Structure 1
Amino acid sequence: MANVFEFIAESRGKSGTGAARGIRRQGNVPAILYGGEKEPEMLVLNHNEVIKHLEHEAVYSHVLDVKVDGRTEKAILKGVQRNPAKFQVMHLDFMRVSMSHAIRVHVPLHFINESTSIGGKKGGVAAHSLVDVEVSCLPSALPEYIEVDMAKLDIGESLHLSDLVLPAGIEIVALAQGSEHDLSVVSMMPSKGGAEAGEA
């Protein structure tokens, strides 16, 4: 299987809406690679290959290899534009990264022990406030996801950003802005008839 963290691209000279439309008509995806100390570069990628890559959740929170005309650039995927009416990717944004400089990336949250949690056993239902969180770290420390362990969560209780157990070298961007940004991640809510079910 092809490396899902490797995007094969070609340079394209023209920019603009007309050029982008022409690229899409040919079954390709226009893209831009920017950041670092280099000029932004317009790219074109094969649409079918892009679709295969984007099926993997990890692509959104990994340092990627963008191969352009034989050279490799380290980058993260910063944006994906899709056509809501079609199964079509319209545009990709890649941002170059330096392995020695911290980056800010949205990392997915994986919720575990929901049904076996204290509240879950009483018939409670989890209400997820967040599905991902923005972190700051060196590219080498970037996690694929962050686990949210709900085992001790009872009905009426919530887990906040400050409750998350983070891998070494990871900082949550919101928490660095102050305690007022300690957002709720998930709450355990009573379900209709949940209390009676627990007692039964």
Structure 2
Amino acid sequence: MLELAIDKKVEPVVIKDLQRHPAKNLVTHVDFLRIDMNKDIVTSIPLNFIGEEEDNEAMRLGAILNQFITAIEVSCLPANLPHTIEVDISNLAMGEHISLTGLTMPKGVTITALTHGDIEAHDQSVVAVQEPRLMSEEVEKEAVDSEGEEGADDKSEGDSE
């Protein structure tokens, strides 16, 4: 939230759109949205994933962190508007995830997706710690190879008769 002076009057605003020059990364245009400090606003807030990979046991063992959502739409009074929502991934084990209902929201901030009736129907995974496919494919390949070797032994025994 910002305060913008318009005709010598200070107005509370939020940035609605920001455009940058493609090569120079300079701001070329900004759209502001005037807000009423006593009414809820709906806006998208970025998620900040905290808890380094070296702090997470599963990721040290080769797990992959999949971030399915990087920002969420929230509703709140402008005074309660957070800059980011923190998501702590340091304690996630292999196969575990954090969903929208598992996020810790600041006081007065509501996730809009969870206000549309059945919470379970709108709850989504935000982040998950998963076993890499390569690891599971190697395990499957080893299992197939060991079965193939046993089958080859049986075949060669049958051919010699």
Flag structure 1 segments of 5+ consecutive residues without an equivalent.
1-62
Structure with higher Rg: it is 2
* Contact 1:64–1:74 (8 Å) recurs in 2: yes
Query: Counterparts in 2 of 1:24-39, with a 5 A limit?
Result: none
Alignment pair present for 1:103 and 2:38: no
| Residue 12 (structure 2) aligns with | 74
- The correspondence for 1:93, drawn from 28, 31, 41, is 31
Q: Deviations over 1:27-80 (max 9, x none)?
A: xxxxxxxxxxxxxxxxxxxxxxxxxxxxxxxxxxxx111122432110111111
Contact 1:160 1:182 in 2 (8 A): yes
**Count, aligned residues:** 133
Q: Could you say what the CA RMSD is over the residues aligned between the two structures, in angstroms?
A: 2.2
Task: Check whether the contact 1:128–1:185 (CA below 8 A) recurs between aligned residues.
Answer: yes
In structure 2, what residue type is equivalent to 1:64? L
Q: Aligned AA for 1:139?
A: P
- Give the alignment's TM-score, normalised by structure 2: 0.73
Moved more, 84-93 or 111-120: 84-93
Mapped contact 1:148–1:164 kept (Cα < 8 A): yes
Is the Cα–Cα contact under 8 Å of residues 114 and 126 in structure 1 kept in the other structure? no
- Within 5 Å, which residues of 2 pair with 1:7-26? none
Q: Distance in 2 between matches of 1:156 and 1:79?
A: 37
How far off is 1:89 after superposition?
Answer: 3.0
Residue identity (%): 38
The corresponding residue for 1:120 is 59
8 Å contact from structure 1 (residues 114, 120) kept in 2: no
Residue ranges of structure 2 left out of the alignment (5+ in a row): 139-161
Task: State the 4+ residue runs in structure 1 displaced beyond 4 angstroms.
Answer: none
Give the deviation of 1:85 after TM superposition.
Answer: 4.4
More helix by share: 2
Distance 1:103 1:187 in 2: 29
Shift of 1:94: 0.9
